[in-house]
Amino acid sequence: MEAAIKPTSMWSPLKNPTYAVLFIATVLSNIGTWMHEVGASWKMTEMTQDPAMVALIQTAVALPIFFFALPAGAIADIFNRRRLLIAINTCALVCAFLLAVIMQSGGITPLLLLAFTFALGVCAAFIAPAWQAIVPSLVGKEQLSAAVSLNGVGINISRAIGPALAGALIVSVSLEAPFWVNAISYIFIIGALIWWKPNEEVHSGLPKEHILPAMISGVKYAKHSKPLISTLVRAAAFFIAASAFWALLPIIVNQGLNAPASVFGIATGLVGAGALFGAVFLPKLKAKFHPSSLLFGVSILDATLFAVFALTFNVTVLLIVCFLFGSAWIIALANLNVSAQTALPNWVRARGLAIFLTIFFGAMSLGSLIWGNVASHLPLTYTLFIASGVLVIGALLTTKFKLNLGSDKDLEPDLHWPTPKTDDSVLNQENVNDASPVLITIEYKIDKTHRADFLSRIGQLGEARKRNGAYQWGVMQDTENAETFVEYFFESSWLHHLHHHERTSGDDKKVQQEVNVMHKGENPPQVRHMVGASYRKQH
């Protein structure tokens, strides 16, 4: 039977003053963001009756993260995350203010609205990986799951308040009011980030990676991380189908039910209220069920909700569905986010989370396009039935991909590799960052009785090497001496190899010890480092 997660109070991270201040400021900022999305969606329904154009609002919000999250994650891993967050939130403030001015002047058009929404989405793409990456530094490891869940609660508290407030302001003040509030909301998060004084980061003294190599390193880690791959597969299967709810909700309220903006605000507010309800009970659910089982359960629940609403198309049922969908949504999102967090060491955390966000928002963007176009050609009832079926099929096909596979692994750097010796005539500080390939070989003496076990263990070690940036990894056997094996792998530069030394984890050390214990002889396996002589600068 799958093990359940030990429960931790969802509110415990708020005892940390720094986390509490940033959390509250983020909630206030997110209230403005949700008000913008409600205002933009409703304004689009006034300007056009095409469901595909209305669904493009969700696409404009989500698509930038699909394109920009990975470079944003690399930047967040390389540069100071606090300064980055201040700079990007300031850009978002300027963009939101300009949109509010244009809305107030009456000069908005569908394409201009999409352009500004896309620009704010770009800012969000650069904010999200950096923000998620700082969470483990604000709370202890034992509170990480609670902090991630609480972040989801914060988003959905703002989802409960923002849309309802936007709907009220649209009816009582003007359609422009939510856009002004959104601009003002960025001031709170900027102020909190200026107030926050994190501990100075300890640097090794090695030159930092450039953005493109850092992006490649992040992709390599993700490609060879089974815990992260499993999380990404489950996320894609769920979000593509579940995105139908977000893409179709404004169309359902405005065109399907002919209801006013206030109903749309109440409906989206109930999603947030349901998410808060789900988050409160999430620790108890985790104590009884494995995250993989919870995700499967909420997928089936969402499929049922879609089908029930399709059969009973009225406002009351919609509001009930919104509340239950919100509960299911936060359970799915929190479990997937924690699974991604626990799959990543700190050195690649922002990049790994950026890949998770890329899958999340890519699936949401693709889903919005799909469901908007389906609704353009088929009745809303049929579209909801199709989305329900896709949810069930996706849940069934991905059950073998388990969540939280990295929760019991020691992924933080162990620094067990000794500093490699070098000859200054071959390699020195001036050419340490040359784009010269580096070949590492390790020679083992393995008894014939241990051959199969050795090859199995060293295959696991090879995955660890590739996670940390190695390429063309393999094992060769001596044709003259069957007990001699040579492991080899390449790295892109000497600097990259030195970074590899810093990144080998406690879990990598355990696998390497299992390999080394099978080595015969008094001396440890012989390691050699070689650089590409034809590319090396001559001095």
Question: Encoding tokens for residue 171?
Answer: 């009816």
* pLDDT reported for residue 253: 85
Angle, vertex CA 499, rays to CA 494 and CA 502, nearest 5: 135
SS3 489: strand
Kindly state the helix (H) or strand (E) to which residue 529 belongs, with its residue range: strand 526-531
CA distance 30 to 284: 27
* pLDDT reported for residue 380: 86
**pLDDT over threshold 50, residue 1:** no
Q: Are residues 455 and 362 in the same domain?
A: no
φ/ψ of 484, rounded to 5, equals -100, 120
Q: Are residues 37 and 146 in the same domain?
A: yes
Which own/partner contact pairs does 520-523 have at CB distance under 8 Å and 24+ positions apart? 520/445, 520/446, 520/447, 520/483, 521/445
pTM: 0.78
Task: Give the least confident one: 2-16, 64-78, 279-293, 454-468.
Answer: 2-16
Q: Are residues 259 and 391 in the same domain?
A: yes
CA distance 98 to 102: 6
**pLDDT over threshold 70, residue 322:** yes
Q: Are residues 159 and 282 in the same domain?
A: yes
* E strands, 351-470, in order: 438-445
Report residue 90's pLDDT band, with 50, 70 and 90 as the boundaries: very high
* pLDDT reported for residue 424: 67
Distance between start and end Cα atoms, the chain = 63
Q: Are residues 70 and 216 in the same domain?
A: yes
Find, among 43, 50, 110, the residue nearest to 375 by Cα.
50
Q: Is residue 474 in some structural domain?
A: yes
CA distance 300 to 295: 9
Q: In the Cβ-directed half-sphere of 516, how many Cα atoms lie within 13 Å?
A: 13
Report which residue type is found at 209: E
* pLDDT reported for residue 97: 92
CA distance 248 to 380: 8
Q: Are residues 379 and 501 in the same domain?
A: no
* E strands, 27-168, in order: none
* pLDDT reported for residue 2: 46
* pLDDT reported for residue 231: 95
* pLDDT reported for residue 194: 92
Average pLDDT over the chain, rounded to whole?
84
Partners of 484 in the β-ladder: 445
**Does residue 231 contact residue 340 with C-beta atoms inside 8 Å?**
yes
* Number of domains into which the chain is organized: 2
Mean pLDDT score, 9-23? 81
Q: Is residue 4 in some structural domain?
A: no
Q: Are residues 436 and 363 in the same domain?
A: no
Mean pLDDT score, 300-318? 90
Tell me the residue range of the domain where 520 lies: 429-531
Q: Is residue 525 in some structural domain?
A: yes
* pLDDT reported for residue 141: 66
* pLDDT reported for residue 444: 93
* pLDDT reported for residue 539: 45
* pLDDT reported for residue 200: 65
Mean pLDDT score, 84-106? 90
Q: Is residue 538 in some structural domain?
A: no
Q: Are residues 453 and 377 in the same domain?
A: no
Q: Are residues 356 and 238 in the same domain?
A: yes
Report residue 151's pLDDT band, with 50, 70 and 90 as the boundaries: confident
**Checking phi first, is residue 258 left (phi over 0); if not, alpha (psi -120 to 50) or beta?**
left
Greater pLDDT, 273 or 205: 273
The CATH number of the domain holding residue 298 is 1.20.1250.20
The CATH number of the domain holding residue 449 is 3.30.70.100
* pLDDT reported for residue 394: 94
**pLDDT over threshold 70, residue 390:** yes
Per-residue exposure over 302-341, b if at least 16 CB sit within 10 Å of its own CB, e if not: bbbbbbebbeeeeeeebebbbbbbbbbbbbbbbbbbbbbb
CA 60 to chain centre: 18
Q: What is the pLDDT of residues 213-245, one digit of tens each?
A: 888 888 999 999 999 999 999 999 999 999 888
Find, among 156, 155, 181, 173, the residue nearest to 35 by Cα.
181
Q: Is residue 410 in some structural domain?
A: no
**pLDDT over threshold 70, residue 536:** no
**pLDDT over threshold 50, residue 500:** yes
**pLDDT over threshold 70, residue 201:** no
Q: Is residue 422 in some structural domain?
A: no
φ/ψ of 370, rounded to 5, equals -65, -50
Q: What is the pLDDT of residues 445-497, one digit of tens each?
A: 999 899 999 999 999 999 999 998 888 899 999 999 989 999 999 998 888 88
